[in-house]
Structure 1
Amino acid sequence: MSPRLLRMLGWGSAAVLGLLTVTVFVLVLIPAKDAVLPTKIKYGLVFDAGSTHTSLYIYRWPAHKENGTGIVSQVEGCSVAGPGISSYADNPAGAGASLKPCLDRAMKIIPAEQQRETPTYLGATAGMRLLREENSTKAEQIFAEVSKAIGEYPVDFRGAQILTGSEEGSFGWITVNYLLQTLVKFSFAEKWEHPQDTEVLGALDLGGASTQITFQPGVPVEDRNTSVFFRLYGTDYSLYSHSYLCYGQKQVLKRLVAALHQANLSAEISHPCYPQGYQENLTVAELYDSPCVQAPSSVNPDLVLSVMGTGDPAACATAVQRLFNFSCGAQWPCGFNGVYQPPVRGQFFAFSGFYHSLHFLNLTGGLSLSFVNTTIWKICNSSWEQVQELFPMASRTQRRDACTASSYTLTLLLQGYKFNYTTWPNIHFVRQVANVDVGWTLGCMLNLTNIIPSEPLTAVTELPRSIWIATTVLLAIMLILTFCLLTAMCYQRNSSGYEQL
């Protein structure tokens, strides 16, 4: 073999070995950056089947959970047309059919490949609790039909059930505190953490058939029937929570008319909370169509009653107060009707009916209790003509109930839940927080994520694009030089063979 060829082989081998060494050195010393691949997003559906209407809420959260609880956000809310499902007692199939437009909407939002693993729940509240008391068979038929309707969609339907009052109140409490970031917040260290030295907030909920109060008391809860425990984001919470059935706004308005009727059993009812000059007719059967009101046995259900407003604020306040029993006795402190309640403590968020009844009178902006009292008194002292002028865009029912609803709200908060002039500023009336409707459904979804399996984050080693390009070029050069080296070696062997011949 010629000396020139040997020198070529030597230099080629050295070049290849040198490039290999440089490449390995570069790959070892390049500062790798750990990057987390986008996590899979999971979805969940929750139907809020309330006493007056039903809504579907679409939630989502990353598959990786924080301390056992998903970081859940609301994607969209869909209002179901028509009344609450309890109103379909004589037409159960109608209850199921009413849900389908919102389910169709959800299927357009959730990716098709994830729909079958989307947990779906229907929670019914006080309206269905009342129907179950009145006629359990009809309640079961409604649940069968709504379950059938939801089961026709490609979702992971996990059942329809009636929430207990404690669950409804507690889930509302979770919603409020989650949205206000008292349970978990994103820190400057770019991770979700439990906030230190942060007081949680109480929750006040007023629906159509029940009302709930939930808060973290400063003393041990003495009645275990009102004691609730939660573990969220790695932290334990001990709460007081109670729900009063038949003290929702719709049922209270009905109970008040029934109480006025029973006072003299006359076909003409003077209503001090209705504006003076207002008049309407209704039958006894319509008035006593709820388990919250019991009709006198001697009254003909077809009898037509005439209800006339008298616009008397003092008499209105007295009539509303008669719906409560404020006596607590010596056993323990109470809210009303003898139900144990420790003293209210901390800040409270009041939503649903609490917000709507006072917002109608523009009284939700952190106003003083004296101003709120004065405004409600003026409304209750107004004539039907004046009320119509004050609220030209409102419905007839809203105008009629403006005095009654606000008077009841004030009585419930002050004499029922024992707020006063000192603690009144601690109540914040809200409909939404961070563009999310405040209610029990988000809290329910957060709680349910504790039983939804989590998936670990997937980490990869990510290199800057320029480094990848340089490395690729080096490898290409190595391959070319290796090819040249092998070609030269083959040439050497062939030349040696010729020389031997």
Structure 2
Amino acid sequence: MSSHLQREDEAHRDAPTPGPAHCCRTVQSSGSTGTRIHVYTFIQSDSEKLPLLDNEMFHSIKPGLSAYADSPEMAGHTVRMLLKVAKKTVPRLEWKRTPVVLRATAGLRLLTTDKAQALLDQVQHVFDESPFLVPDNSVSIMNGTSEGILAWVSLNFLTGHLNAQTKKTVGILDLGGGSTQITFLPKMRKTIESIPVADYVARFDIFNSTFELYTHSYLGNGLMAARLATLGALVAEGLEWRTFKSSCLPKKFRDEWSFGGLTYRVSGDPDGYSGYKLCYQEVLKVVKGIIHQPYELKDSDVFYAFSYYFDRAVDAGLIDGVQGGMLEVRDFKKKAKEVCSKMAKNPLITPFLCMDMTYITCLLKDGFGFKESTVLQLTKKVNNVEASWALGATLDHFHNLKIH
């Protein structure tokens, strides 16, 4: 998956106010494929309770910051443009009390340390010259565990399940460019007992309750990174002269494709076969032995799937691009077969759709182990708020969830 960078600017009133207080909190997120800003307005009536979310302003710019690995000043330019949006949204009197925070995700995790740091330094410089409040540690790379947990917090906050009495929660499946996350609240002890290593379980505290979640982030299994791995280009040398072939691409297709600041020559296999079965064997190598299958997925609560799960379902005509919808895992499989069988007829419209849909099918079935009849809620927004970890990051900033 491409890098997911998120910045969180939050405006809030420092002085306690009698009765409900409005407060704006802006979060900016930049992934490998886009940089985004969220401005949330909350109503806080009681510091012991979760605030009420009044509304959200959201704006996105392409590409993500990791695309500027070799020209970090362009990353600074992107962040300046998004801060302009924040200035228009947050009242001027609140600027100096509005914290601005950026959290980078998989796009920057996939870069070398020095290139990632150069990008973060540029963002820090832009923050320091802005009129907003810049807290300590305002620009950093967030680990995958936090990304999964904060997305879970966001979705369960928006669906009304985030309280101490909660018996029913929703799981989350997030597919970015550079990494993919799964997080849910296990009902069965065996789910926790059968994890491969300890870091598949994480806890966080909120309002005197501790939630123990099954969560994992797979770096390199986001959609864009998975394309590279399928093509055999993830650790390849000689990008200047090599062409990477795949039976997941139309046979006559040849083009250049860029990700993470590098450009690759890619093509179908003109002398071989193409289609779903061969493609599935290619993407299976990216999934098998890497993705752990949680014990209880067969009868778990509802899972919300977003980011590229949603985008590709829209591209394939499975769901409406505004409304989203419920899909079974077998719907991805059926559509993947259809797209792969037809790709020769219109190879240039969406040349990667066969590969992407096949990978999503394989990730859900052979990766996480969902049954074909499992129903997923595909969504971009819940109650008119973007489904992402940005809201969770905002709540963490104000309530210190103590993720451990």
Bigger helix fraction: 1
Instruction: Give the deviation of 1:71 after TM superposition.
Output: 3.0
How far did 1:281 drift?
5.5
TM-score calculated relative to the size of structure 1: 0.67
Q: Are the structure 2 counterparts of residues 63 and 421 from structure 1 closer, same or farther at C-alpha, using a change threshold of 3 Å?
A: closer
Secondary structure of the structure 2 residue equivalent to 1:317: helix
Q: Report the counterpart of residue 138 of structure 1 in structure 2.
A: 115
Superposed displacement of residue 106, structure 1: 1.3
Shift of 1:64: 3.5
Match of 2:311 among 356, 361, 366: 356
Task: Label 1:151 to 1:279 Cα distance change in 2 as closer, same or farther (>3 A).
Answer: same
Q: Distance in 1 between matches of 2:359 and 2:28?
A: 28
The one of 308, 318, 323 equivalent to 2:281 is 318
Deviations 1:324-360 (A, max 9, x none): 233xxxxxxxxx45x4733222110000011111221
Structure 1: where are the runs of 5+ without partners? 1-35, 185-193, 291-300, 327-335, 389-395, 453-501
Larger fraction in strand: 2
1:305 deviates by 6.5
* Aligned: 1:378 with 2:305: no
Alignment of 1:26-41 (within 5 A): 39-41=20-22
> Contact 2:102–2:140 at 8 Å: present in 1 too?
yes
Name the residue aligned to 1:126: 106
Q: For the residues of structure 1 that align with 2:267 and 2:372, how far apart are their CA atoms?
A: 39
Of 338, 362, 375, the residue aligned with 1:411 is 362
Query: Is residue 401 from structure 1 mapped to residue 401 from structure 2 by the alignment?
Result: no
Displacement, 1:363? 2.3
Paired AA for residue 372 in structure 2: Y
Aligned match of 2:184: 215
Q: Distance in 2 between matches of 1:259 and 1:92?
A: 24
Q: What is residue 322 of structure 2 aligned with on the other side?
A: none
**Consecutive unaligned residues in structure 2, runs of 5 or more:** 1-16, 320-324
| Code of the aligned partner of 1:444 | A
Match of residue 117 from structure 1: 97
How far, CA to CA, are the matches of 1:413 and 1:269 in structure 2?
25
Equivalenced residues, count: 366
Q: What residue number does 1:448 align with?
A: 397
* Letter in structure 2 aligned against 1:249: L
- Identity of paired residues, percent? 26
Q: How does 1:88-107 map to 2 (within 5 A)?
A: 88-107=68-87
Deviations along 1:447-485, whole A, 9 cap, x unmatched?
Answer: 222159xxxxxxxxxxxxxxxxxxxxxxxxxxxxxxxxx
Contact 1:47 1:55 in 2 (8 A): yes
Name which of 156, 161, 168 aligns with 1:199.
Answer: 168
1:234-383 aligned at under 5 Å gives the runs 234-258=208-232, 270-280=245-255, 307-308=268-269, 310-326=273-289, 336-337=290-291, 339=292, 341-344=294-297, 345-364=300-319, 365-383=325-343
Q: Which residue of 2 aligns with 1:78?
A: 59
The alpha carbon displacement at 1:161 in A equals 0.9
Please give the alpha-carbon distance, in whole angstroms, between the structure 2 residues aligned to 1:288 and 1:150: 23
State the secondary structure of the residue aligned to 1:366.
strand
State the distance in 1 between where 2:393 and 2:186 align: 22
Structure number, greater radius of gyration? 1
1:438 to 387, 390, 401: 387
Tell me which of 191, 209, 225 is aligned to 2:199: 225
* Whole-angstrom CA distance in 1 between matches of 2:76 and 2:132: 16
Asked if the contact 1:169–1:243 (Cα under 8 Å) also holds between the matched residues in 2, the reply is yes
CA RMSD of aligned residues (A): 3.0
Distance 1:385 1:437, change over 3 A: same
